[in-house]
Chain A
Amino acid sequence: AQKITQTQPGMFVQEKEAVTLDCTYDTSDQSYGLFWYKQPSSGEMIFLIYQGSYDEQNATEGRYSLNFQKARKSANLVISASQLGDSAMYFCAMRTSGSARQLTFGSGTQLTVLP
């Protein structure tokens, strides 16, 4: 079975600072993908970034980067230069080759950016 653990229910960061949101995962599959989604108060899930298990370099998308440490089974999201609009719930998710492409989500981290 696959499992995603997000141990930070809530995080605060000062505007313009960087913040790291933690995510650890558990799977016995060798091939898997890791995703981060943002969910503002409006409710829609917004895809941010993807990391494949065989990717040698950490994924980056604008201000988002994924700190992938395969041996530790961690896939932390780093947001640089935080903006007020980054305040939202953030979910880490995984899909393995053994599952029919469904995503397994963690419980999320509520990020609040302070002015």
Chain B
Amino acid sequence: GAGVSQTPSNKVTEKGKYVELRCDPISGHTALYWYRQSLGQGPEFLIYFQGTGAADDSGLPNDRFFAVRPEGSVSTLKIQRTERGDSAVYLCASSLMGGAGGEQYFGPGTRLTVT
């Protein structure tokens, strides 16, 4: 079956611009996560959705970052006034609800470069 998809795969933008990154989770997965992975590091948690609501947004670095999931499926991560430090790979993951061991399935990521 289809896995998690993310678009675009690469995004180059100028400092100060606004960007949107899209995630399409595995069908039927109610939980959706965004992570950010800087070069040479492990992924760092940004935000978690259960259904349409953000259950935990404690990982968002500042108020320039925002994410939505209006219909409980596709999610969009929005970054305003981008800075060079926002350059990273943004990973999306989804999982079924329930069970402590529910593994998260990751998409291929969007590589964001802010020039």
**What sequence of 0s and 1s flags, for each residue 25-37 of chain A, a beta carbon within 8 Å of any chain B beta carbon?**
0000001110101
Task: Kindly state the separation between the CA atoms of A102 and B104 in the bound complex, as whole angstroms.
Answer: 9
Pick from B45, B91, B101: contact of A33, CB under 8 Å: B101
Distance A97 CA – B4 CA, assembled complex (angstroms): 25
Q: Is the CB of B43 within 8 A of A103?
A: yes
Which residues B69-105 have CB closer than 8 A to chain A?
A: 89, 91, 93, 95, 100-105
Does A102 contact B89, Cβ atoms closer than 8 Å? no
Bound Cα distance A103, B100 (Å): 12
Question: Which bracket fits the contact residues of B?
Answer: 20 to 34
Q: Are A108 and B42 in contact (CB under 8 A)?
A: yes
CA distance A93 to B95 in the complex (A): 15
Is A44 in contact with B100, judged by CB distance below 8 angstroms?
no
Contacts of A37 on B, CB cut-off 8 Å?
106
Closest to A6 in B: B42
Residues of B within 8 A of A32 (CB): 100
A residues neighboring B (CB under 8 Å): 4, 31-33, 35, 37, 42-47, 50, 52, 91, 93, 95, 97, 99-108
Instruction: Apart from A47-B103, A101-B95, A107-B42, list 6 A-B contacts with CB within 8 A.
Output: A47-B105, A50-B103, A95-B100, A102-B56, A103-B45, A107-B41
Q: Which 3 A-B pairs give the minimum distances between C-beta atoms?
A: A105-B42, A45-B106, A100-B56
